A and B are shown apart, each in its own frame.
Chain A
Amino acid sequence: MEIKFGGDFVVKKPQQEVYDFLVDPKQFCPLLPDFQSMEQVDDRNFSVKLRVGISHIRGTAAVKMTLAEATPPKSAHYVGNGDVPGGSTTLRAEFDLESATGGTKVIWRGQSNVVGRIASLAGGLLEPLAKKNMQRLIDGLKKALN
């Protein structure tokens, strides 16, 4: 099942600084909800582990991420895939940056496709959970970049 989100927000930090933050997994990943660990493979690839769960289905999500497109200081687009408890996921996270009054406007889009047993067991819960986690991530980004 496909989940899509998007939005924008303005932060105080300048565009280049926001860009540098978004392409640095060491800075960026700890903001992910229920972050456990991150292992950087090279400049563009890293693996991240997150604690995830819905009701009694709990475990660790291991996701491989790739910085698929990076245009300093305008955009950073990630693609990833990995395993979640009871299924697998592919995801895409895109950040486009524009200068704005008083800082930088971050235009973001997220898309996740969850497949497997989890989709039938907890299909109805996935979207609100993803929305909640996405909001936590955005809140974290705002906090870090303001």
Chain B
Amino acid sequence: MAKARTKFKPTKAKRANAKSSAPTANWVGQPIRRIEEDRLVRGKGIFVDDQKLPGMLHIRFVRSSYAHAKIARVDVSKAATLPGVVCTLTGAEVKGMVQPFIEIGPDVGQKIADYPMAVEKVVYQGDPVAAVVAETRMIAEDAAELVEVDYEPLPPVMTAEDALTDANLVHPEMGTNRNWHGVFEFGDIAKAFKQAAHVVQIGRMHFHRFSSTPLENNAMIAVWDSRSEKIEYWSNNSFPAFAAQFLSPALGVRIDQISMKSFDIGGGFGIKITNYPYMALCALASRKTGGRPVKWAETRTEHMQASAHGNERTFLATRVALDKNGVVTAIDSKHVDDCGAYPRYEPLGCVIWAQVLPACYRVKNIRIEMNQVLTNKCPVGPNRGYSRMQQLWFMERVFDICGHSLGIPTDEMRARNYIRKSEMPYTTPNGCVYDSGDYAGMLAMAKRLIGWDEWKKKQSAARKEGRWVGLGIGSTLDSGTNNFGQARIINPGAPFSGQSKAAIAKLDIYGEVVISMGSVPQGQGHETTASQVVADVLSISPDMVKVKPGFDTEQNAYTGHTGTYASQFAVTGIAAIHGAASKLRNEMSRLAAWALHAKEKDLEFGTGAQGPEVRVKGKKKSINYWALANLVNVNNAGMPEKLWDVTLNCRHVYHAPFQLPDVKRKYGNLTLTYAAQVHVAVIEVDRETFQPKILAYACVDDCGRAINPRIVEGQVHGSAAHGIGAALMENCAYDADGNLLASTFSDYTPITAVNMPDLIYGHMESPSPFTFNGAKGMGEGGAAPVHTICAALQDALYPEGVIIEDSHNTGDSLFRAIAQAHQGESAKMVQVEHRRGAH
């Protein structure tokens, strides 16, 4: 990452650690250092597992070794008698204490009885079957080993294709493994294929399971206070409003009886959204102990086995129509999403991919038949790039395979098919509106940064030496600020739509500007970007703004959409904060006008000798923040009645401008902003070991107006690391019996700095016309490296006849791919029909 070439605009403002007398400046857009870093790198972060409450107990789960089995017997008697054990929980007991979690899906999905603990049978390896609560974590672990469970193994359902046959059922009460089915059809498919000059048919492709594996595993403390009948949670759940909506009916309490709190979180990437079943179990354990705090700190193996994985998707029977110039005119395909053993956040993924239906391309006629199936694997969760990356990977593979099959260079293929900058805002065939972007410009920049032409020459020379060197392009979108109305395409009865966030800005008694956010930051730098925005509103320096970290239902402003997910803080969170700060400024202005005997239009905000102040332009009349706060909070006798509504404690809710989609047509705007990334990679596959090695890597990002370019660049690096790891190293593979083959980091091999190539970084800005500041949500990254690396591998190995059909590629799999290609398998994988008049 040493070669990053960042293109920052010239800075006028001083850095955040500059003196408070910094001149009025535009802090938004400046790469100031992250405020959070000081606390975190000094070990002053406060994480859940750091908390030690009086009387706190520890819970340990007993988990199934089997992927699919009936539970014949659970005997906790030996565990219960171990000194230090306070209580135990079994599935049968839990069933009597809670209602099954609500299901988002319609019809058969509603028949699933999703209890937080397995009751009659286990449906994935790691499924909790019992729990032990003890005075110490070690005692709980020892006691858990004394729990005896008898299983009667059942045949597991391990692939999407197996699931579709319904030969064995994950949840017999459903009568099928198909959790959701829908056809997304737009344009005139039949006509497009009839008129096509070329038709390319592509066989099975597969997007593998992986997880973003945050540094901090799931963790939580629950206290079920029997006196107040209130459940207090201290957790690292990243979507507490969603979790509360699931927990409340399951636990049989009003939602206001659930208090959610978080502080520092060591990464999340969406995976922690679905840790609510464990929140339920910790609460039940606390209730059973008479209200003692119960802590659960997940182990890494538990996280790998039973937290959540990203969605696995299989693409079948793909047909692509192209005109004589290689412009794709239609795509027809069948997709099967594997959501594991329980839907939980699903089947939302069955529509969320449609936010990026045509990816970066102008193709108008698209038909995708989407099935989602249940299998005996770990349930999925919204993993970074959730559901869209699978569709974007599919589209990138389609364009690469068509390009290679028709002899069109992959950069030219994109140039012919990209949505043009001049067409923005661009309405996709399913009614989504791409707000802005210049994909061709981004590709040009990426090619320039990496030295594309030079690498093409080197590739030619390398091929003459018999080396396998390939250049690949990955174009991707990071759709942000989702419209929950898309849930109605999944289930017309789903009571969700729109998107909102709330924030509070206040001037505290001694004049401190304090911001409470409705977000749950996990490393995104929310404190920093929020302080920059507020600093601009009040014409002060960011270090004069105190942004309260973490989330607290008792103190923060929040809505039912509150959480950090779907690449949206820069839009929704910041808009709420900006709105609250603007309201605060208005109140301060009214108050100052009265105090200074001036008109509001004659006032200006800034920093004077006594700190931040409001002053009369051109005169030596000013009032500082302390004095303003004093007037309202503790010294308000004599304040005129017209100012009694001034509280200097301002709440603002931002509502994203969404409409309900047309459910029947599956048509409508599903998300507000579209950040984009274009990556280019050069890869060599070793001819002896078949190991792929990245020789050069460039990434260009466009997330509209960057609030803090340093943070944007960090997010791009982080998402690139996740994508490279997913493409070449990380795989939640199972064997045929349902054993997860990567239940530790030794086997999963998550990417580290050692494995990262140098990233060449470029940044463009296409401001969003749909946000007040031109910013777009970003950070998920759209798994650009997965697309890019697959493209480069195919470019390297296409002369050998290889078609890259899986998103995960290692030396071993490439060895097999080359062997199969030499046996003519690739010819079966891709078939090209050239029609008359094609040339």
Query: For the complex, is B796 an interface residue (Cβ under 8 Å from A)?
Result: no
For the complex, would chain B's binding face be called helix, strand, loop or mixed by DSSP majority? loop
Query: For the complex, is B758 an interface residue (Cβ under 8 Å from A)?
Result: no
Chain B residues near A71 (CB, 8 Å)?
Answer: none
A1 CA to B744 CA, complexed, in Å: 18
Choice from B66, B149, B151, B739 contacting A120 with Cβ under 8 Å: B739
Choice from B125, B301, B747 contacting A115 with Cβ under 8 Å: B125
Q: Nearest Cβ in chain A — how far from B67, in angstroms?
A: 7
Q: Nearest Cβ in chain B — how far from A5, in angstroms?
A: 18
Chain A residues near B743 (CB, 8 Å)?
Answer: 117, 120-121
- Please state if A115 and B65 are interface contacts (CB–CB under 8 Å): yes
Choice from A83, A86, A88, A120 contacting B747 with Cβ under 8 Å: A120
Chain B residues near A123 (CB, 8 Å)?
Answer: 735, 739, 741
Known: A1-B739, A2-B737, A115-B738. A81 touches B150 (CB 8 A): yes
A119 CA to B733 CA, complexed, in Å: 12
Query: Considering residues A90, A113, A115, which has the most beta carbons from chain B within 10 angstroms of its beta carbon?
Result: A115
Query: Considering residues A64, A113, A116, A121, which has the most beta carbons from chain B within 10 angstroms of its beta carbon?
Result: A116
A88 CA to B151 CA, complexed, in Å: 9
Known: A115-B67, A116-B125. A121 touches B737 (CB 8 A): no
- Please state if A1 and B735 are interface contacts (CB–CB under 8 Å): yes
Known: A87-B65, A88-B66. A119 touches B741 (CB 8 A): yes
Q: Nearest Cβ in chain B — how far from A42, in angstroms?
A: 17
Query: For the complex, is B740 an interface residue (Cβ under 8 Å from A)?
Result: yes
A117 CA to B62 CA, complexed, in Å: 13
Kindly report which residue of chain A lies nearest to residue B747, judged by CB atoms: A120
- Please state if B744 and A119 are interface contacts (CB–CB under 8 Å): no
- Please state if B150 and A119 are interface contacts (CB–CB under 8 Å): no
- Please state if A121 and B65 are interface contacts (CB–CB under 8 Å): no
Chain A residues near B741 (CB, 8 Å)?
Answer: 119-120, 123
Residue interface bits B143-161, CB-to-A below 8 A is 1, else 0: 0000011110100000000
Kindly report which residue of chain A lies nearest to residue B741, judged by CB atoms: A120
A90 CA to B739 CA, complexed, in Å: 14
Residue interface bits A96-126, CB-to-B below 8 A is 1, else 0: 0000000000000000010111011101000
Residue interface bits A60-102, CB-to-B below 8 A is 1, else 0: 0000100000000000000001010011101000000000000
Kindly report which residue of chain B lies nearest to residue A89, judged by CB atoms: B65
Q: Nearest Cβ in chain B — how far from A141, in angstroms?
A: 28
Query: Considering residues A2, A81, A119, A120, which has the most beta carbons from chain B within 10 angstroms of its beta carbon?
Result: A120
- Please state if B739 and A119 are interface contacts (CB–CB under 8 Å): yes
Chain A residues near B740 (CB, 8 Å)?
Answer: 120
Query: For the complex, is B742 an interface residue (Cβ under 8 Å from A)?
Result: yes
A145 CA to B303 CA, complexed, in Å: 50
Choice from B148, B739, B744 contacting A116 with Cβ under 8 Å: B739
Query: For the complex, is B176 an interface residue (Cβ under 8 Å from A)?
Result: no
Choice from B67, B149, B153, B744 contacting A90 with Cβ under 8 Å: B153
Chain B residues near A87 (CB, 8 Å)?
Answer: 65
Chain B residues near A115 (CB, 8 Å)?
Answer: 65-67, 125, 153, 737-739
Chain A residues near B65 (CB, 8 Å)?
Answer: 83, 86-88, 115-117
Kindly report which residue of chain A lies nearest to residue B72, judged by CB atoms: A81
Chain A residues near B737 (CB, 8 Å)?
Answer: 1-2, 113, 115, 119
Kindly report which residue of chain A lies nearest to residue B156, judged by CB atoms: A115
A15 CA to B581 CA, complexed, in Å: 92
Residue interface bits B285-312, CB-to-A below 8 A is 1, else 0: 0000000000000000100010000000
Residue interface bits B40-67, CB-to-A below 8 A is 1, else 0: 0000000000000000000000000111
Chain B residues near A83 (CB, 8 Å)?
Answer: 65, 148-149
Kindly report which residue of chain A lies nearest to residue B734, judged by CB atoms: A120
Kindly report which residue of chain A lies nearest to residue B302, judged by CB atoms: A117
A120 CA to B747 CA, complexed, in Å: 8
A117 CA to B742 CA, complexed, in Å: 9
A120 CA to B738 CA, complexed, in Å: 11
- Please state if A117 and B305 are interface contacts (CB–CB under 8 Å): yes
Q: Nearest Cβ in chain B — how far from A65, in angstroms?
A: 13
A115 CA to B124 CA, complexed, in Å: 11
Chain B residues near A120 (CB, 8 Å)?
Answer: 739-744, 747
A83 CA to B741 CA, complexed, in Å: 19
Known: A2-B737, A88-B66. A117 touches B301 (CB 8 A): yes
A98 CA to B744 CA, complexed, in Å: 48
Q: Nearest Cβ in chain B — how far from A41, in angstroms?
A: 13
A1 CA to B539 CA, complexed, in Å: 65
- Please state if B66 and A121 are interface contacts (CB–CB under 8 Å): no
A90 CA to B735 CA, complexed, in Å: 16
Taking A113-B737, A115-B153, A121-B743 as known contacts, 17 extra A-B pairs with beta carbons closer than 8 A to each other, sorted by chain A number, are A2-B737, A88-B65, A88-B66, A90-B153, A113-B153, A115-B66, A115-B125, A115-B737, A115-B739, A116-B125, A117-B65, A117-B301, A119-B735, A119-B741, A120-B741, A120-B742, A123-B735
What are the 10 A-B residue pairs with the smallest beta carbon separation, nearest first? A116-B65, A119-B739, A88-B65, A87-B65, A120-B743, A115-B65, A120-B741, A117-B743, A115-B66, A115-B739
25 contacts between A and B (CB under 8 A): A1-B735, A1-B737, A1-B739, A64-B150, A81-B150, A81-B153, A83-B148, A86-B65, A87-B65, A113-B737, A115-B65, A115-B66, A115-B125, A115-B153, A115-B739, A116-B65, A116-B66, A116-B125, A117-B305, A117-B743, A119-B737, A120-B739, A120-B741, A120-B742, A121-B743
Chain B contact residues, CB within 8 Å of chain A: 65-67, 125, 148-151, 153, 301, 305, 735, 737-744, 747
Chain A contact residues, CB within 8 Å of chain B: 1-2, 64, 81, 83, 86-88, 90, 113, 115-117, 119-121, 123
